[in-house]
Structure 1
Amino acid sequence: MQRLSSQTFHSIREQLLLTARPLERAIFCYEFEDGKEETVLEALQTYQNDDGGFGNGLEPDFQLPDSSPMATSVAMQHLIRYADHPLAQNMIKRAISYLESTFDEERRGWFAVPPQVNEYPHAFWWTVRDNGQSWIDDNWGNPSAELIGYLHLFEHEVQNLHVPKLIDQALTHFLQLESFDAHETYCYLRLLAMVPNQRTDKVEKQLTKAVQSVVKLDRENWEKYVPFPLKFIATPEGNHFGLPAFKVEDNLDFFVEKLEEQSCISPTWAWTDYLATWEKAKKEWTGILTLGTLLSLRTFNRLDTEQ
């Protein structure tokens, strides 16, 4: 079992504080130093629009300044960690209002991004096609299943939608799936973390089937953009979905080695257009991915931070 050395950790720290976005810098300081929740929330607040939704490149692969359900889902992943803070509560209330206003009755959920995304630099997979949908929308649960989870957590802020019915609908959809998309599976994992009483044996069996069908277990794949084991296993005590323990350990070793070599985790994908903007987005993603990897390594006791 390999652990990230304290020397490398402090080298990564210097790079993050120098090159990452204010949001990732604030999260790093909160998680590893004496940073304050308020600093994180103030950084996140800069991405929230007057309509309560989030945009402004919070998800760096599309630079749309307008709000989108997808960017709002990214914001909510952060906000639930600070939900007791008054600033977070106000941001959440406004975000829930936005989600209600953009709920599509015919879809019984949300489209990931609005057509205006095409007017700003973005990765090709976010392009909204003539049918009014991006490629992301081919899988209903991304982000609709996850967003329904946030409506459940903050149901006291919901005015017009019937949340229990939406949860039933989301789970029915999931249980009927015969093939699986990795990103949709991530969204269902987040939903089920928010509604743990819905994790029946039938649901767990389907989750296991989904994870095993999309995960890539071999090292040679992890240099590519693939769903690796740590994408599904959040804690040592969590459900491993039948994945071999030694593969999880190897995945951890892989990221320790990568950070020891490079002191960062860079994106394993690239844009095909807007290449100047991609260089900026790539730098932002490097901060996001590096910070996320550090947090995972800490969770699995693979991190030495003391010099």
Structure 2
Amino acid sequence: MIVLSNGNFERAKNWILEHGRDLEKARVKHLIEDGHQHEIIAVLSGYQNEDGGFGKGLEADIRLPHSSSIATTIALQVLVQIDNDPRAKQMIGKAIRYLENHFNSERQGWYAVPPEVNEYPHAFWWTVHEDGMSWIDHHWGNPSAEIIGYLRRYRSEVTRLDVDQLVQQCVDYFLSLTTFESEHEVYCYKRFFQLHPDLVTNTAAEQLGKAVQSLVVIDEEKWKNYVPFPLKFILDPESTQFGIPKKKIDDNLAFFIQALENDPFIEPPWEWNAYSESWEEAKQEWRGVLTYEALKLLLNYQRVVR
């Protein structure tokens, strides 16, 4: 079994502590030893706006200072893991109110980013077009399915939306899909069902399996590109395998071990086509995010010599 040496683990961790954002610094410290969640909360609070939503470049490809639904879900992905903390609960309550206020009744969901995103440096796929949508918005479940998952989990904070109706709509939409075009939409549904395992019927589990099987890229030659590799769906050994061969999971782990043997960080496999100066800043931030995620995966699978 291939493992990451302690020396290379420490090298990657120290790279984050030296070059990463304060959020990744706090998260990597919390990953190694409990007791740093107060640092995570303190840093994350700096990304929360007065309206309760999150922005300020939390999603590094969006330099928009104002709140967006997508940045708010990214914050909630972190906060949901530490929601036993009263300060985290308070931030979550504000975020839920922001999401309620930005629900689009015609869409029966949320748009990922507001039109103001165009006024600031951003990756081209976040550009809002004349129809009011970015490319991301062509798949309803990203981020609406994930948001509905948070509304159900924190139902006591919801005052105006019909949570049960939205949940039913969310599940019905997913079960109606006959083709799967967006891995990000499936990631959102995966988070939705992880938050609410009681909703994972046999039909839903079968549909989720079909979605993963149709999207997962098991050709390791392509993993250096921006693709939905196996570990995007299977974050730890206890997760559902979705029919992905164990060897491919092992190969994917080896891919990241090799990457961290070559360099102390994971390089983002994408780039912007404009705003070159802002992209250099965003790229450095993404290195910290992706390196943290790789270390977490390797620890989840006990592939680090400690």
In structure 2, the gaps of 5 or more residues are none
- The whole-number CA distance in structure 2 between the counterparts of 1:102 and 1:34 is 35
| 2:291 partner amino acid | T
- The whole-number CA distance in structure 1 between the counterparts of 2:81 and 2:203 is 29
Partner deviation per Cα, 1:72-128 (whole Å, 9 max, x = no partner):
000000000110111101100100000000001111110000000000000000000
| 1:72 partner amino acid | T
Task: Give the CA deviation at 1:284.
Answer: 0.2
Task: Give the CA deviation at 1:234.
Answer: 1.8
Task: Give the CA deviation at 1:34.
Answer: 5.7
Task: Give the CA deviation at 1:261.
Answer: 1.0
- The whole-number CA distance in structure 2 between the counterparts of 1:112 and 1:91 is 20
Q: How does 1:276-295 map to 2 (within 5 A)?
A: 276-295=277-296
Q: Which residue of 2 aligns with 1:31?
A: 31
Partner deviation per Cα, 1:136-178 (whole Å, 9 max, x = no partner):
0000000000000000111011101111111110111111112
Q: Does 1:131 align with 2:128?
A: no
Q: Which residue of 2 aligns with 1:120?
A: 120
- The whole-number CA distance in structure 1 between the counterparts of 2:20 and 2:233 is 25
Q: How does 1:63-78 map to 2 (within 5 A)?
A: 63-78=63-78
Q: Which residue of 1 aligns with 2:44?
A: 44
Q: Which residue of 2 aligns with 1:21?
A: 21
Task: Give the CA deviation at 1:44.
Answer: 0.4
SS in 2 for 1:95: helix
Q: Which residue of 2 aligns with 1:8?
A: 8
Partner deviation per Cα, 1:238-285 (whole Å, 9 max, x = no partner):
111111111111101111111111121110000000011000000000
| 1:189 partner amino acid | K
Scaled by the length of structure 1, the TM-score of the pair is 0.98
Q: Does 1:154 align with 2:145?
A: no
Scaled by the length of structure 2, the TM-score of the pair is 0.98
4+ residue segments displaced more than 4 Å: none
- The whole-number CA distance in structure 1 between the counterparts of 2:101 and 2:259 is 43
Residues 34 and 218 (structure 1), Cα distance of their counterparts in 2 relative to 1, 3 Å cut:
same
Q: Does 1:90 align with 2:90?
A: yes
Task: Give the CA deviation at 1:35.
Answer: 4.7
SS in 1 for 2:290: helix
- The whole-number CA distance in structure 1 between the counterparts of 2:151 and 2:157 is 8
SS in 2 for 1:189: helix
| 2:60 partner amino acid | P
Task: Give the CA deviation at 1:210.
Answer: 0.5
- The whole-number CA distance in structure 1 between the counterparts of 2:229 and 2:267 is 15
SS in 1 for 2:24: helix
Q: Which residue of 1 aligns with 2:107?
A: 107
Task: Give the CA deviation at 1:33.
Answer: 3.6
In structure 1, the gaps of 5 or more residues are none
- The whole-number CA distance in structure 2 between the counterparts of 1:153 and 1:139 is 23
Q: Does 1:300 align with 2:301?
A: yes
Q: Which residue of 2 aligns with 1:224?
A: 225
Q: Does 1:62 align with 2:62?
A: yes
- The whole-number CA distance in structure 2 between the counterparts of 1:234 and 1:17 is 23
- The whole-number CA distance in structure 2 between the counterparts of 1:234 and 1:33 is 19
- The whole-number CA distance in structure 2 between the counterparts of 1:176 and 1:25 is 41
CA contact (8 A) 1:26 1:35 kept: no
CA contact (8 A) 1:100 1:160 kept: yes
Q: Which residue of 2 aligns with 1:251?
A: 252
Task: Give the CA deviation at 1:195.
Answer: 1.3
Q: Which residue of 2 aligns with 1:272?
A: 273
SS in 1 for 2:47: coil
